[in-house]
Amino acid sequence: MDTSIRVLVVDDSSFYAQVVADTLATDYDMTTMKANDAREGLERLDAADVDCVVTDYQMPETNGIEFLEAARERGFEQPFILLTGTGSEAVASEAVAAGVTHYFQKDEGEQQFEKLANQIDNAVEQRRTEQKYELLVNNSPDLIAQIKADGEFVMANAAMAETLDSTPTALTGQSLFDVVPDDVAERRLEIGREVIETGTTRRFEDGYDGKYFHNVFASVDLPGERETFQVITRDITDRKEAEIELKETVEKLEESNAQLEQFAYVTSHDLQEPLRMVSSYMQLLERGYKEDLDEDAQEFIDYAVDGANRMKEMINDLLKYSRVDSRGGEFERTDFESVVDQATDNLQVAIHESGAEVTHDPLPAAVCDESQMVVLLQNLVSNAIKYCDEETPRVHVSAERDGETHVFSVSDNGIGIPEDESDEVFRIFSRLHGNDEYSGTGIGLAMCQKILDRHEGDIWLESEVGEGSTFYFTLAAGGVGDE
């Protein structure tokens, strides 16, 4: 990229123009060109890229300020430095009003060239920085503008203008009240005046005509425009519509879940009544006609009663499964040693009858629904005891910290699970063994999976047939001092 500075020197004195051009080129490594009047200067601007113009004020036919105005009309926006042989407050005031970048008197000292070179350097560097910013702003998909405290647009990029059905040029000078509804304009100006006064930045959302916007307002100091704030606005209509659609979907889902839960409750109640009747009448039949029943009839009655009881157990488990999301408690910092104690207390009979040994390491606290964690541990420990053909079932609970989570494990010395069936066990009603081998409904591990889904945790297992299994699950850590 060419970073050299190209300077056009315009002066009706060919000698002075030559001296200035040669000095800037030789001593300050600038590329220079010369013109002796405004007409020739405009021709030079049309023919070549120029970074800065250094022009005399007093020239025949067209003075330096008139030359500047003509150049600006042609779209030349680069710095203009005005030189004059005799200083005048009136000329200085006119120069500033016309937009001259710098203004100073000619003198005979060598320092004038150093001063001039520094002014050129600074002006060109500032203009190049402004151009980079303008390029960034104009190519940005965000809506960017600078607005006065009274609502007048100082500038706007293409995206802002397009959204407001205008152009950057047409929008400049218009009022905010001309392009957005009055209530929106009033609130935006109120916030704009606030950031000007406080020097802070405000972020907020608003919308109109079915569109939604995220806005960032900040004060900005512009030359000659102190009471000005900058606006960066992003059209978030698609995001908002997606959020609204998601909210409506969640509400419908919650309503559907509530209806489903009610259906499950009513269905389970209606199903259990005939099951109780079947079981009761079978038991009455057994007691009333025991003397008349042969061995086969007795076996058939036992099958019927057992089937009714298993169906009742399955219905109860299914009802509990359906309520994991809707009937859960608050997530709180929970002592997991207390969770294990509650689970083993609930399993006292099974532990005593099987002679199982249930142990645990020191366990941390975790953020969870305590009652659901008791159910989860109870299911895992109960399965470990049930699916064990050793004389003494052994179950051990431990945990390790992993970043912001705890990884808990429940290990046993049971029969193990084939590797190709390790995912199958978490599916509802999935059973790897028949009731003649191990009783159950096939809902316990699916319940564990659903509980951990609610906690945004994971559950998996590692197992070896004949050696035992280890179930792992993750929960959010309970904070400082949780170990």
The full 3-state SS of 387-402, as one line of letters, equals CCCCCCCEEEEEEEEE
Domain spanning 332-476: CATH superfamily: Histidine kinase-like ATPase, C-terminal domain (3.30.565.10)
Which residues have CB under 8 Å from 160's CB, separation 6+? 143, 144, 145, 168, 171, 231, 233
SS3 113: helix
Which residues have CB under 8 Å from 278's CB, separation 6+? 304, 308
CATH class of 241-322: mainly alpha
pLDDT at 135: 72
pLDDT at 268: 64
Q: How far apart are CA 20 and CA 53, in angstroms?
A: 12
pLDDT at 480: 42
Quick one: which of 218, 185, 213 has its CA closest to 202?
218
Q: How far apart are CA 227 and CA 221, in angstroms?
A: 8
pLDDT at 266: 65
Backbone angles phi, psi at 277, to 5 degrees: -65, -45
Instruction: State the burial class of residue 366 (Cβ atoms within 10 Å of its Cβ: 0-12, 13-18, 19+).
Output: buried
The CA angle 457-459-460, to the nearest 5 degrees, is 150
pLDDT at 271: 66
Q: For the chain, give every domain's residue range.
A: 6-136, 140-235, 241-322, 332-476
Rg (CA), the chain: 42
Which tokens sit at 134? Answer: 């303008």
10 in Cβ contact with 17 (< 8 Å): yes
SS3 167: coil
Q: How far apart are CA 56 and CA 91, in angstroms?
A: 12
**What is the dotted CATH code of the domain comprising 140-235?**
3.30.450.20
pLDDT at 1: 40
Q: How far apart are CA 351 and CA 198, in angstroms?
A: 70
Write out the DSSP string of 127-149. HHHHHHHHHHHHH-SSEEEEEET
- Structure pTM? 0.46
Which residues have CB under 8 Å from 238's CB, separation 6+? none
* DSSP H helical ranges for 230-369: 237-288, 295-322, 336-346, 348-354
Which tokens sit at 138? Answer: 């104009």
pLDDT at 270: 66
Backbone angles phi, psi at 319, to 5 degrees: -65, -45
Distances (CA, A) of 263 to 134, 257, 268, 269, 273: 63, 9, 8, 10, 16
**What is the dotted CATH code of the domain comprising 6-136?**
3.40.50.2300
User: Which letter does DSSP use for residue 297 in this model?
Assistant: H
Q: How many CB atoms lie within 10 A of CB 2?
A: 7
User: Which letter does DSSP use for residue 156 in this model?
Assistant: E
202: Cα separation from own chain's centroid: 19
Distances (CA, A) of 285 to 271, 299, 303, 304, 410: 21, 13, 13, 12, 45
From first to last of its 483 residues, the chain has per-residue pLDDT tens of: 456 899 999 998 899 899 999 999 999 999 999 999 989 999 999 888 999 999 988 888 888 889 888 998 888 888 989 888 766 777 777 878 788 888 877 776 667 888 889 999 998 888 887 777 777 677 788 999 999 999 999 989 999 999 999 999 899 999 999 999 999 999 999 999 999 999 899 999 999 999 999 999 999 876 555 689 999 999 999 999 999 999 998 888 878 777 766 766 666 666 667 777 777 878 888 788 877 778 888 888 888 877 777 777 666 766 677 677 767 788 999 999 999 999 999 899 889 999 999 999 999 999 999 989 999 999 999 989 988 877 889 999 999 999 889 999 999 998 888 887 877 888 876 666 655 555 656 778 888 999 999 999 999 999 888 889 999 999 988 654 454
Which residues have CB under 8 Å from 220's CB, separation 6+? 146, 228, 229, 230
pLDDT at 61: 85
* DSSP H helical ranges for 403-477: 444-454
Quick one: which of 136, 132, 225, 131 has its CA closest to 173?
225
477: Cα separation from own chain's centroid: 23
Question: What is the 3 state secondary structure string of 196-217?
Answer: HHHCCEEEEEEEECCEEEEEEE
Q: How far apart are CA 178 and CA 6, in angstroms?
A: 42
